[in-house]
Structure 1
Amino acid sequence: MISPFLVLALGVFLIVAELLIGSFFIMFFGLGFLIVGVFGFFIEIFWYHQILFAAIISVVLLFTLKKPIKNRFYNSKNEVKDDFLNESGMGEVKEGKIYFKGTLWSYDRELKDGEKVQVIGTKGNKVILK
Structure 2
Amino acid sequence: MKIGLEHVNVTVADIDASAALLGRLFDWKVRWEGASIHGGRSVHVGTEDSYVALYQPTHQARAEAETYFTTGGMNHIGVVVNDLDAAEKRVASEGLIPHNHADYEPGKRFYFDTPDGIEIEVVSYA
TM range (shorter): under 0.3
Greater CA radius of gyration, 1 or 2?
Answer: 1
Bigger RCO of structures 1 and 2 (CA < 8 A, at least 6 apart): 2
TM-score (norm 2): 0.19
> Under a length normalisation based on structure 1, what TM-score does the superposition of the two structures give?
0.19
